[in-house]
Amino acid sequence: MNTNTNTSKGMNTKANANADTDTRGGVGAVRGDGDGTGALTTAAGRLGALGRAELTLLARNRTALFTALFVPLAMMGSIKITLDGADLGDAGVTAAEAALAGGVGTVLLMVVYSNLVAAYTSRREELVLKRLRTGETADHEILAGTALPAAALALAQSVVLVAAAGVFLDVGGIHRPDLLVAGLLVAIVLLTALAATTSVITRTVESAQITTMPLFLVSLVGSGLFVPLDSLPDRVASVCELLPMTGVMTLVRAGLIGGVDGAGLLGAGIGAVAWTVLALYAVRKWFRWEPRR
């Protein structure tokens, strides 16, 4: 919009100020009509721009892309082979069904959690997060926009795993799609918040391989990714039910293959929501926006 000392043009400039607003920071232009839709479009545009930028960076990182795309598939196969000789009668699932649930859980941990710990750490150390905060983008938009590609990739891979299990492992159809979708969405929010929290103690991208290992290993063994909780001793299973990933994995497993009663679903839902709230609070309180020095 050009400024001018001419009085009539100045009046027109003021009259049209509410109808044409330029957003800054490279996101684009948004036109508002006074009903609030301009603000919504601006927020969506910022999230879209951040998501596209992160997707480009993920595509350029061949190691991260290979890990996200192929390792979960390999993990599902290894789980299937390992459990073929195991007695899962008490758990009420077959080796193929346990492998499918474990594969989806592995996708969530590796594609969302591990990738985002490295992404948040890298953006922080390169001052990207600090620069983004100087613009119009809100803090939650920065974190959510960074997570969008990983979330979309995790959902897409989960669909591929379910289809592959049906074709190659002879696993039946989805038992409860509503529970599966709910479990996946809550898991993505939870793991995004946990990734942001873990980045606080992660100094470099390389050290992210170490700082993400505790949650990965604990979840792999204790949250039912590798060994169904029903096959563990009662006391051990009771402790494992308190782990961060157990609630969402119970919802995912119930959606995929069933076998969970109403009380179990209620407990899983409460646990998943509680851990998500705690993780979001930790991000709000302790997340670091500037490099560690």
Q: What are the pLDDT digits (tens) for 181-238?
A: 999 999 999 999 999 999 999 999 999 999 999 999 999 889 988 777 877 888 999 9
Cβ neighbours of residue 124 closer than 8 Å, sequence gap 6 or more: 130, 199, 288, 289, 290, 291, 292
Does 24 map to a domain? Answer: no
Contact 38, 31 (CB under 8 A): yes
- Between CA 212 and CA 143 the distance in angstroms is 18
Read off the pLDDT of residues 247-260 as tens digits, 9 standing for 90 and up: 999 999 999 988 88
Does 12 map to a domain? Answer: no
| Chain Cα centroid distance, residue 55 | 14
Using a 10 angstrom Cβ sphere, with 0-12 exposed, 13-18 middle and 19 or more buried, the burial of residue 228 is buried
Domain span at residue 228 reads: 36-286
Whether the per-residue pLDDT at 143 is higher than 90: the answer is yes
Closest of 261, 193, 197, 249 to residue 218, by C-alpha: 249
Share of the chain above pLDDT 70, in %: 77
Cβ neighbours of residue 58 closer than 8 Å, sequence gap 6 or more: 64, 65, 68, 115, 119, 149, 150, 153
Top mean pLDDT of 153-162, 176-185, 230-239 is at 176-185
Share of the chain above pLDDT 90, in %: 49
Does 181 map to a domain? Answer: yes
Cβ neighbours of residue 269 closer than 8 Å, sequence gap 6 or more: 247, 251
Give the residue carrying structure tokens 């074709």: 167
Give the total residue count for the chain: 293
Read off the pLDDT of residues 6-16 as tens digits, 9 standing for 90 and up: 444 343 433 34
Looking at per-residue pLDDT, the higher value among 168 and 274 belongs to: 274
Does 15 map to a domain? Answer: no
Closest of 87, 115, 91, 86 to residue 101, by C-alpha: 91
- Between CA 116 and CA 114 the distance in angstroms is 6
Contact 50, 141 (CB under 8 A): yes
Contact 158, 107 (CB under 8 A): yes
Tokens of 287: 């997340």
Computed on alpha carbons and rounded to an integer, the radius of gyration of the chain in Å comes to 23
pLDDT band per the 50, 70, 90 thresholds, residue 122: very high
Does 78 map to a domain? Answer: yes
Considering the chain, what is the average pLDDT of its residues?
Answer: 81
Read off the pLDDT of residues 51-89 as tens digits, 9 standing for 90 and up: 888 778 777 777 767 766 776 667 667 766 766 666 565
Closest of 158, 144, 48, 166 to residue 96, by C-alpha: 166
Does 25 map to a domain? Answer: no
Closest of 106, 119, 190, 104 to residue 150, by C-alpha: 119
Taking residues 256-275, report their average pLDDT: 93
DSSP code of residue 21: E
- For residue 29, the SS3 value is strand
* Tally of domains within the chain: 1
- Between CA 156 and CA 160 the distance in angstroms is 6
Read off the pLDDT of residues 36-53 as tens digits, 9 standing for 90 and up: 444 445 878 888 888 888
Give residue 36's region: left, alpha or beta (phi > 0; psi -120 to 50): left
Q: How many CB atoms lie within 10 A of CB 49?
A: 16
Contact 45, 28 (CB under 8 A): yes
Does 7 map to a domain? Answer: no
